[in-house]
A and B are shown apart, each in its own frame.
Chain A
């Protein structure tokens, strides 16, 4: 092969190798970008998207009722697992350091069985299970079980979460 052809093949191969790397990076980027769009939709609760025909929970989410009844998920807004969501698809959800908790809070300020959320009469109630450092609903320590309204911060140890529609 001529000198020029060799040079073209040589640099061509390096170019293709890098194109492979960049195509992987672009997939990763599309991944992140795609998910970013979704999480924006979720937190803003944008009506035009929610009212899209394929959306099953569309009617409920349009009206913001102060009760917890239409809460569909628990969003962690502070702490180790910030950004995680848990679907509220059951009647009870336990919170604590224990491995079998539904929401595991992994810090020294939380008790093994710290608190639990219970669905009673269409309201989500937070009940403190005699934890050492307490559970705080909107800044106030929870004594007797209290109703958790939508978008109200609940603190357990270093973790803060909210119920969202």
Chain B
């Protein structure tokens, strides 16, 4: 930001205001937005404001300002927009989950998620703060490239193990000890991004420059395609063992994009996408689960799919909900989003779409867009190659996850069981995404203070 320029140019213009002051203003705005949501919900459903308001409003707000103060001391040049955007998204999700709880209490339901979500939000934001404090520089994570590979693979495969692995709704993505369940795949995406970034920094030369030219396209050597084959096989293994198309697409897509960013060669994207589509098509022929998902996606209103167990009932209900929301929505607390199964986790975007309408849905997508754009910008202007890949990978993984989940709910792609980042109920997902927020903040602080002398004017 502004400090980059002062080396080369006299300190005449400090047009850009200080990052942290902008952040404080945006945070106040975000906290106000969250209060508005909760007040609207309580007024329309309970017709009175009660003490629960503070229970859901204060903890995230306080922690956001704690992180803000930590940033002032430890990473004062960090990006000013990431934290407020994350807080608004988390607050929106939390309010909607609270709203669904109130709805299910009114209907005699007993399974509540709101309080759990508050606790996980606090834990997750504490982890983000810890990342900022205990990761001293953007190069720190580079020391743990191979350790993260093992952690990533272990987390990815843990749900497939007997004893601790758990299947919920057909997908084997959880581990459980007693009543406590956890989705390790969410954390695996961070570990694997660190590994991919570290691996590709050392191998980018050979991936980028070797190979013969055929018809104007440089075809990589077989040796360079090896790692891609390994990752491809691993992601298909995830598809087969854990029965989840979304997870396997997420990791493979992440890898392909990082290879593309590291080498700048589109051939890898073409080869990678062809391989994944081929693999998925073959799987859809062989595995009932995948072909069922495809059929529900293409014909959700077919009574055969609608009535089937694990069929398209949920998807169709979600679409009815979105249609009920219309352009401006029913207002928070005005709709009937609890009719959709898993309205608080997988289908939270349909619940929000129903109550905030198309206008609100686009606002949420706009928030994600800004979040991802900030992350990609960090990757774009960071002088250090490892940090470039890390920031790009972490923000891309959020973008891809949004695309897979929201695309699944709105029938752009087949529906899969991933969570909407920062919105959906679920501790592991919140934890992973807040850690990503922490890492992005830490990396963005070092843009001006990189080891390389190249400090961009942009």
Other than the given A10-B328, A87-B8, 4 more pairs (CB < 8 A) read A17-B33, A30-B16, A38-B457, A103-B453
Select A20's contact among B30, B44, B331, B454, beta carbons within 8 Å: B30
What is the CA–CA distance of A11 and B12 in the complex, to the nearest angstrom? Answer: 44
Per-residue 0/1 for A22-47: is the Cβ within 8 Å of any B Cβ (1 yes, 0 no)? Answer: 01110110110111011101100000
Instruction: Determine if A21 and B370 form an interchain contact, defined as CB atoms under 8 angstroms apart.
Output: yes
The count of chain A contact residues (Cβ–Cβ below 8 Å) is 49
Sorted from nearest, which 3 A-B pairs have the closest CB atoms?
A34-B15, A55-B10, A10-B331
- Secondary structure dominating the interface of A: helix
Q: A33 to chain B: closest CB distance in Å?
A: 7
Among A78-86, A123-131, A134-142, A145-153, which stretch is in contact with chain B? A78-86
**Interface size classification for chain B:** 35 or more
Q: Are B457 and A24 in contact (CB under 8 A)?
A: no
Complex Cα distance, B13 from A37, in Å, reads 9
Q: Which of B26, B357, B454 has most chain A Cβ within 10 Å?
A: B454
Is there contact, CB below 8 Å, between B13 and A38? yes
Q: Which of A14, A39, A86 contacts B328 (CB 8 A)?
A: A14
Q: Give the total number of A-B pairs whose CB atoms are below 8 A apart.
A: 136
- B453 near A86 (CB under 8 angstroms)? yes
Task: Given A21-B366, A42-B8, decide whether A31 and B40 contact each other with a Cβ distance below 8 A.
Answer: no
Known pairs A38-B13, A87-B453; A18 contacts B328 (CB<8 A): no
- Residues of B within 8 Å of A49, CB to CB, are 12
* A6, A28, A31, A55 pick with most chain B CB within 10 angstroms: A31
Which chain A residue has the least Cβ–Cβ distance from B11? A54
Per the 8 Å Cβ criterion, residues 80-99 of A in contact with B are 81, 83-87, 89
Residue picked from A7, A25, A34, A52, most chain B C-beta under 10 Å: A34
> Could you say which of A9, A18, A41, A87 has the most chain B C-beta atoms within 10 Å of its C-beta?
A9
Q: Which residues of A pack against B, CB within 8 Å?
A: 1, 6-7, 9-11, 13-14, 16-18, 20-21, 23-25, 27-28, 30-31, 33-35, 37-39, 41-42, 49-50, 52, 54-58, 72-73, 81, 83-87, 89, 102-104, 108
